[in-house]
Structure 1
């Protein structure tokens, strides 16, 4: 409807300089994000979804765009941190299960004699970090030693676990290989 032609969809004020909700994108988080996408991700799910064919205003004022950008950045930051905490918790649970499994197998092996054919015959390879000439690296900086694989994202150089982001891989290293 034309009665809302100059009103902001988010604050309801009349505005002279506005942006089209369905036509414009805004620079946020180092990329261009459509305004409609930012609104859809920040609005409560109890509201009906945005519809370009409805009768509500189709524009947003610049003040509301700034507020929306901040809310969108906060939301994305929270989701990223939440995802990384989930990865860390998953590895901690896996580490605890592994420790419990090892202690259980130790207690079982101590209760019965071990036969020669049960002894392990394979040896594991040591982890070697690449050291550039003239560059001194301490074990604490080994988390930077990740390998990028285009299909799997980032891989831990120690345990070969795969991650979607380098930040998640570094978090994994600090959490899972803190003794190195």
Structure 2
């Protein structure tokens, strides 16, 4: 005779309608997951692993099964969100390092700031006898509505959007 014949392994209560944790699966995260697998993934790391051959009860009540399913889904939801946050933080860190290195590349050395640099007189192309046309400085035409970065071409904007904001 089993001393834990009608006891739920998770709450310890005596129940009439119990399910075997090694034989039953429950729907969680839109798929059928074995109850023993859900229990194993939700137990603290310092608990002994579930074993079909151990002396503990092999049954779970339906109330505990519902609670277990909620905890299992919550854990997976939390881990998925945590993973997404880590990816976003790593991307942001790389973007900041890139911006910092770009700003360092374009810094004017201090010794040049105090010296006067001669400038050439401005002349029109006609005065030089050339048929060149004067072009104005190009302003960015495309702006990201999410992060406010500006781009000269639509292609550059699309690449930025697809890479930086692909999940939005």
Q: Where does structure 1 differ by over 4 angstroms across 4 or more consecutive aligned residues? A: none
Specify the alignment match of 2:153 in structure 1.
Answer: none
Structure 2 distance, partners of 1:29, 1:47, is: 25
Identify, as 1 or 2, the structure richer in helix: 1
Residue deviations 1:79-123 (CA, integer Å, cap 9, x gap) = 0110010011001001001101111112269x7xxxxxxxxxxxx
- Structure 1 53/108 Cα, relative in aligned 2: closer, same or farther at 3 Å? farther
Superposed, 1:52-71 pairs within 5 Å as: 52-71=52-71
Structure 2 distance, partners of 1:42, 1:169, is: 32
1:140 is displaced (CA, Å) by 6.3
Structure 1 distance, partners of 2:145, 2:19, is: 49
Pick 1 or 2: higher relative contact order, CA cutoff 8 A, min separation 6.
1
SS of 2:3's partner is: helix
- Structure 1 94/62 Cα, relative in aligned 2: closer, same or farther at 3 Å? same
Tell whether 2:95 aligns with 1:80. no
User: Rg bigger for which structure?
Assistant: 2
Residue deviations 1:114-146 (CA, integer Å, cap 9, x gap) = xxxxxxxxxxxxxxxxxxxxxxxxx769xxxxx
TM-score by length of 1: 0.61
TM-score by length of 2: 0.65
- Structure 1 46/103 Cα, relative in aligned 2: closer, same or farther at 3 Å? same
- Unpaired segments ≥5 residues, structure 2: 113-143, 147-157
Q: Once superposed, what is the RMSD of the aligned Cα atoms?
A: 2.7
